[in-house]
Structure 1
Amino acid sequence: MPKLSDDYSTLSREVAAAGARLVVVTKTHPVELIQELYDLGHRDFGENRVAELEEKHARLPKDINWHFIGHLQRNKVKNVLPLVSLIHSGDSLRLLREMDKRADDSRVDVLLQYHIAEEKSKYGLTPESGRELLESIRKEPLENVRILGVMGMATYTDDKEQVAQEFRTLHEIYSSVKAEYFEEEPTFSEISMGMSGDYEVALQQGSTLVRIGSLLLGKRNYD
């Protein structure tokens, strides 16, 4: 499929030129499409449903870096941890403690998800609840969970300035958290923001990970 190859090449070059990494979001898309991108050299793929992640992980090459990008329930942590390289949706202390307990002395990499959008339906920490979480971890450190940065989703709107402001807010949160809690930890370096409709704005605001699906792969099949 030459078009996918061309589109992928153009998009990956654009993202890399901005100093970021492309996570191709493959939810509802078939394993054959993922394999095609894998054969083009891509390794970072994102899923937001545990059952779909488990199925695809079983059928695809084991050197894929799977990113879990959806809301993660604590009772699903044990299923997800062995399969993923990075969890983008660390949105509560209870979830992080559950990951720490279930990790079995293996390292779990996670991002703190912050709520930066207008929509109340989106998950995420506030700056205040994030501070409470980090203060709790400072007093009682996580043994197996490593926090690598932050994640956020902007409001679904055509107002690019609003989106840019929300991404600036996330970048400011990242900088504040970095300075106060992770100043001596170079691994705290990720800002996961930007999807198909707003990734260009996110790159301008300093994103290091963009999560792109429909722009590259087309509409999702929810049948």
Structure 2
Amino acid sequence: MPNLYKTILQQCPEQCELLIVSKHRSVEQIQAYYDQGARNFGENRVQELLQKAPQLPQDIRWNFIGHLQRNKVRAVMPYISRLCSLDSLALAAIVDKEAARLNRTLGVLVEFNLAEESSKTGLAKQEAAAFFQALQQYEHLIPEGIMVMGPHVDDEAAIAAVFHEARALFEELKAQWGGEHFTVCSMGMSHDYPIALREGSTQLRLGTILFEDPSSI
């Protein structure tokens, strides 16, 4: 059977990053993808990241994609290359302070809840301009784009509409606030990534399809 990971990579435009979501996966499973050339991995639980990262190659680029509690920022900062789920200025202030303490900068994606589902975290679209304006005060944070989850529905048109809105928001923010690093429109997971690609995603977050399909590795 064809290697699903490589097949999906071939479907991605050159500017699109495939982020392997490795929550609940073993060090050995992550290493198998590393050995195929993968370097971008996403974790959404602090404790899992702290357990796995020291056991794996140091050139892995860890993206933290879950809701990050402010009291856990110091623990994850030595390991992550990007925070994908920035959703408050209170969190931004603490991340910036910790980055300064470590004499480093950190790439961040601002999370938006465009599906307007109560189970999802993230900002409303109407908060975008004020949030990005306020974000400019933090010298150690580099805004790299946005992260959006599609609605939890089977209606492909409804999913496409949210992703279309996300891409438009990304372009608006890039025009006003984006620098050379503002390149990430993160949308698309295992169940809806083909739709996200059609709507202009530049980062897919894939986990289930890569670890539970026998053709993936």
TM-score range, shorter chain: over 0.9
Q: Establish whether residue 152 from structure 1 lines up as the match of residue 128 from structure 2.
A: no
Match of 2:129 in 1: 131
Match of 1:200 in 2: 194
Match of 1:97 in 2: 93
**Alignment match of 1:209 (pick from 198, 203, 211):** 203
TM-score (normalised: structure 1)? 0.90
Counterpart of 2:84, as a letter, is H
Percent identity, aligned pairs only, is 39
CA RMSD in angstroms comes to 1.5
Counterpart of 1:126, as a letter, is A
SS in structure 1 of the partner of residue 57 of structure 2: coil
Flag structure 1 segments of 5+ consecutive residues without an equivalent.
none
Conservation of the 8 A alpha-carbon contact between 1:18 and 1:203: no
**Alignment match of 1:164 (pick from 147, 160, 166):** 160
Please list the CA deviations of residues 91-147 of structure 1 after superposition, one character each: whole Å capped at 9, or x if unmatched: 111111111111123111100101111421101111222222223234xx1110111
Q: How does 1:1-223 map to 2 (within 5 A)?
A: 6-15=3-12, 17=13, 19-103=15-99, 104=101, 105-138=103-136, 141-182=137-178, 185-218=179-212
CA distance in 1, matches of 2:152, 2:52: 28
CA distance in 1, matches of 2:79, 2:14: 28
Flag structure 2 segments of 5+ consecutive residues without an equivalent.
none
TM-score (normalised: structure 2)? 0.93
Conservation of the 8 A alpha-carbon contact between 2:92 and 2:135: no
Tell me how far 1:18 sits from its aligned partner.
6.1
Alignment: residue pair count: 211
Conservation of the 8 A alpha-carbon contact between 2:105 and 2:140: yes
